[in-house]
Amino acid sequence: MPETERHFGDDLANAVERTGNPVVVGLDPRWEQLPTGFTGSDRADFSTRADAYQKFCKEVIDVIAPLVPAVKPQAAFFEECGPAGMAALAQVIAYARTKGLLVIFDGKRNDIGSTAEAYARGILGRDGQSGWEADAVTVSPYLGADSLEPFVKIAGSRGAGLFVLVKTSNPGSHMLQDQQVEKGPIYRRLADYVESLSAETRGKRGYGIVGAVVGATYPKQLAELRTVMPQTWFLVPGFGSQGGTAKDVAAAFDQRGLGAVVNNSRGIIFAHSKPAYCERFGDSLWQEAVEAATREMIAQLRAETSAGNLAAP
């Protein structure tokens, strides 16, 4: 039973409609790629790096918060810096929330039953309910249904959500995900289960709180999964640096321009070093590059997908 009136599926729909686009900015701070103003030394200790990550991500948030519905901090890069990095992550999440962004904790966490519960309790839920106060978390499914259920239950009670890895964007995703089992590949077996969880948690806007990660780099599978998962939000990674284009992700959306959010990490936060932007902006104008890259991605998605049916903000 929901203890809250918030519903992650509805909140995401509202945020996408409010901003007029489905862009998620991935916060993947990488030391070597930070603008030079953030890196004093090549051999900085973990604490120095963590401070730089925090400062950099907050400045990225200042630029993009008026433009997009959500951010997705990648836990790995913060965790790489040890406890100081995790403290920085918490600060970044809190800051994003004060700026009105939904926050997807990209941790690909999971474990068996009661341990999965600890992850869900710790990561999901605002206002002191959890240790990290995220709105959603990415979850790995190898452990099976009883590892996903605690996330669904706790997310539901706290107005939060989750995205289950279904068909990931990397080349090696074929190894397990594409293995043929009865009635099709493993990812289809999982897709049917995730859709059933979404259906059970369906909100007013037609989508549940249990989403699926489906890579932009596999457009055919994306289209197939949209058909068989009509009530499931998709979190689509692989746009930009990994090769996915606006055309590749078009099939992920419903006619309203809802149903999918598309992540871009390096292509936005490190736009200053991309060929398309480095001459125009360069290192010292990195924030302008972030804004330009965000606006360009928004324009591409609005031109090439049904996100164009969303009202412009």
What CA–CA distance (Å, rounded) separates 109 from 106?
8
User: CB burial class (10 A; 0-12, 13-18, 19+) of residue 110?
Assistant: buried
Pick between residue 21 and residue 74 the one whose CB is nearest to a second copy: 74
Select which of 58, 99, 108, 153 is catalytic. 108
Q: Least Å distance between CB 308 and a second copy?
A: 29
Residues that bind a second copy (CB under 8 A): 28, 30, 46, 74, 76-77, 79-87, 89-90, 106, 108-113, 115-116, 118-119, 121-123, 130-132, 140-147, 165, 168-177, 179-182, 186, 189-190, 193
Is residue 240 a contact partner of residue 290, using CB atoms and an 8 Å limit?
Answer: no
What CA–CA distance (Å, rounded) separates 7 from 156?
7
Is residue 234 a contact partner of residue 244, using CB atoms and an 8 Å limit?
Answer: no
Q: Least Å distance between CB 55 and a second copy?
A: 17
Pick between residue 67 and residue 262 the one whose CB is nearest to a second copy: 262
Pick between residue 102 and residue 190 the one whose CB is nearest to a second copy: 190
Is residue 307 a contact partner of residue 253, using CB atoms and an 8 Å limit?
Answer: yes
Pick between residue 217 and residue 231 the one whose CB is nearest to a second copy: 217
Pick between residue 87 and residue 278 the one whose CB is nearest to a second copy: 87
Q: Which long-range contacts (CB under 8 A, 24 or more apart) does 142-146 make?
A: 142/110, 142/176, 143/110, 143/111, 143/112, 143/116, 145/193, 146/112, 146/113
58 catalytic? Reply is no
Is residue 203 a contact partner of residue 197, using CB atoms and an 8 Å limit?
Answer: no
Give the start-end residues of each E strand in 51-141. Answer: 70-73, 102-109, 136-139
Q: Are strands 180-181 and 184-185 parallel, antiparallel or unpaired?
A: antiparallel
Helical H runs in 99-144?
113-123
Give the start-end residues of each E strand in 189-259. Answer: 210-214, 234-236
Q: Least Å distance between CB 150 and a second copy?
A: 11
Q: Least Å distance between CB 257 and a second copy?
A: 27
Rounding to the nearest 10 degrees, give the CA dihedral for residues 277, 279, 281, 286. 60
Is residue 78 a contact partner of residue 53, using CB atoms and an 8 Å limit?
Answer: yes
Backbone torsions φ then ψ of 245, nearest 5 degrees: -115, 170
Pick between residue 66 and residue 113 the one whose CB is nearest to a second copy: 113
Catalytic machinery residues: 108
